[in-house]
Amino acid sequence: MGINIFLFVRFYLFYDSGPQFFYTRQLLGSALAWARAPAAVLNFNCMLILLPVCRNLLSLLRGSFVCCGRTMRKQLDKNLTFHKLVAYMIALMTAVHTVAHLLNVEWYINSRHGRYGPLPGNLSMLEDDDDDDHHTTFLNPVQSDSTTPTIFAFTTIAGLTGVVITLALILMITSSMEVIRRSYFEVFWYTHHLFIIFFAGLVFHGAGRIVRGQVSTDPPHNTTLCKDHPDKWGKISECPIPQFAGGFPQTWMWVIGPMVIYICERLLRFIRYLQAVRYKKIVMHPSRVLELQLVKSGFKMDVGQYVFLNCPEISQLEWHPFTMTSAPEEEFFTIHIRQADTFCLFSLLIGVDGPFGTASEDVFDYEVSMLVGAGIGVTPFASILKSIWYKFKDSNPKLRTRKIYFYWLCRETHAFEWFADLLQVLEKEMDERGLKDFLTYKLFLTGWDHTHAAHVMVHFDKDTDVITGLKQKTHYGRPNWDKEFEQVRQENPSSVVGTFLCGPAALAKVLEKKCVKYSDVDPRKTKFYFNKENF
């Protein structure tokens, strides 16, 4: 925001008070500055808009290639939020820029017709000299008395590209609304690729050099003396005919770097798409969750990372994100897909792009970690817990983390089935090693009826839970987060606690507030840091 405000103010003052635009302001007034200042802000934001969606670049930055601190990694994990904020600024500045230029075109035409007095009229009647190879004489780009705003918009480079850019932007923004993304994802996906047309139009938009400023002449044109005597231009040495030139197009210099980075990103994704993927095992769990065990040459992952899957039989353009549930120590990688989201059950051909980094990679960087999964959102934590199991197979596991709290919220009992086996193995492993306190997990069933409650009460005295078969009994209803955070704070009075969520936005807001509420102002005491999965 600071850079945006600086650019807007700087270029507004530059065009509003710059001596080279004195005559231009006689035609356009303050609309000149109101058109050019947003253009500078647009250049900056169009430079930024592609970078947050270059996932390989972000994975590289947050990975081992560049040492990023915890604060920087947390910002990188908000890449989609940043992408949206930049898009909002582009939309706002486009609206201001467009309205200002619509006024400019109207005033160019009116000045041509002499409606604003003799000086604007004389400036508008300046024409190119046939002997002038540089065509620098004219100031008003409207050189015909029959020109209308519509004709100007569709017969000039700036006008035509401006119309195309604005229409593409409107379609991209409207199709990005959450109601469209949730219900008609394909509409969002295909419409968003209008960004190719948007950037193509953006590069050529300034080539018409519509906004022109005064250039030096020999002898120099004395604006102060000559502005009131346009009839003497070219007749006395102090007032030679003023010369004007359009500014050099600069937008391409702002966006060329990100465009090259994005093209490299897509080429890398295409190469990955061509690499063969082999199925090791396919399991359909009773909980309507499909498990795919896949093998791909040269594939390396870290805990909590995700990949994009593509089914060419449906569409070669659609890629959907799925968190991997396998551990880095395994020779294959695993994807669990909820049946409601399955788009490739009937396809034996599949494309895989990734892996990409997420907030869950940082779990082992904290002394204490709180893992919160909702429904199928447990997938990144399955990867983490599997990795813990492999690490503890080593007699001396090198872990900075000394305590993990795991919370899983599900609406129905069947959802626990595919993950309960892993928890049972971990539970047994921790018992055998005398590490019961390392992993504390709580399962919450948020949807249940009276029949189910009666069944639980009958079997309440059993050593294991009737739903999961675990020693830890299932809780009914939603967690009391104040109670949970208070317990974690009391048990870890001087620790840095990383709170990780893979779940809905509503729960994210709650947990983020609790992290702030229960973090002590004393840096020597408990601090909670909130992290959320974003795709």
Among 36, 238, 209, 53, residue whose Cα is nearest residue 138: 209
The band of 347, judged by pLDDT with boundaries at 50, 70 and 90, is low
Mean pLDDT, residues 104-112 taken together: 87
Half-sphere exposure of 499 (CA within 13 A, CB side): 23
d(CA 510, CA 80): 20
Does 114 or 435 have the greater pLDDT score? 114
Indicate the SS3 state at residue 158. Answer: helix
Question: 278 and 292 in contact (C-beta within 8 Å)?
Answer: no
Residue closest to 355 by CA, chosen among 58, 137, 74: 58
At 88 the pLDDT is 95
CATH code of 366-374+399-416+426-504+515-532, in short, is: 3.40.50.80
- Rounded-to-integer distance, Cα 112 and Cα 116, Å: 9
Structure tokens at 95: 């609206």
- pLDDT of 397 above 70: no
Task: Give the end-to-end CA distance of the chain in Å, rounded to a whole number.
Answer: 24
Is the CB of residue 465 less than 8 Å from the CB of residue 456? no
Instruction: Report the mean per-residue pLDDT for the chain.
Output: 82
**Is the pLDDT higher at 71 or at 186?**
186
Q: Which DSSP string do the residues of 15-73 spell out, in sequence order?
A: HHH-GGGHHHHHHHTTHHHHHHHHHHHHHHHHHHTTGGG-HHHHHHHHSSSS---HHHH
Nearest to 140 by CA among 126, 119, 154: 126
* Helix (H), strand (E), coil (C) string for 338-362: EHHHCCCCCCCCCEEEEEECCHHHH
Which residues does residue 220 pair with via DSSP β-bridges, in sequence order?
none
**Residue of 410, 333, 381, 359 lying closest to 530 (CA atoms):** 359
Q: What is the rounded CA–CA span in Å between residue 311 and residue 319?
A: 8
Structure tokens that stand for 172 in this block:
């991209």
Range with top average pLDDT, 114-123, 432-441, 493-502: 493-502
Q: Report the amino acid identity of residue 65.
A: F
Average pLDDT over residues 221-237: 84
| Predicted TM-score (pTM) of this structure | 0.81
Rounded distance, CA 512 to CA 353, Å? 31
HSE-up of residue 445 (Cα within 13 Å, Cβ side): 20
Higher pLDDT, 410 or 97: 97
234: how many CB neighbours lie within 10 A of its CB?
Answer: 10
Confidence band for 458, pLDDT divided at 50, 70 and 90: very low
Residue 195 neighbours by CB distance under 10 Å: 18
Low-confidence winner among 186-200, 202-216, 435-449 (lowest mean pLDDT):
435-449
- What distance in Å separates the CA atoms of residue 305 and residue 323, rounded to the nearest whole number? 6
Length of the chain: 535
Residue 208: what pLDDT? 80
Domains of the chain: which residue ranges?
2-259, 276-356, 366-374+399-416+426-504+515-532
- Is 284 in a helix, a strand, or coil? strand
How far is it, in rounded angstroms, from Cα 63 to Cα 57? 10
Q: Give domain 276-356's CATH architecture.
A: Beta Barrel (2.40)
| Pairwise CA distance, residues 108 & 100, whole Å | 12
Question: Hey, what's the torsion of the CAs at 88, 92, 97, 102, to 10 degrees?
Answer: 120
Identify the burial level of 452 via C-beta atoms within 10 angstroms of its C-beta, where 0-12 means exposed, 13-18 middle and 19 or more buried.
Answer: middle
Give the pLDDT confidence score for residue 84 in this predicted structure. 93
Q: Are strands 320-323 and 368-374 parallel, antiparallel or unpaired?
A: unpaired
CA distance 483 to 485: 6
Q: Are 233 and 262 in contact (CB under 8 A)?
A: no
- Sign of the C-alpha dihedral computed for residues 486, 490, 493 and 499 taken in this order: negative
User: In the predicted model, what is the mean pLDDT of residues 358-383?
Assistant: 82
In single-letter form, the type of residue at position 464 comes to T
Question: How far does Cα 163 stand from its chain's mean position?
Answer: 25
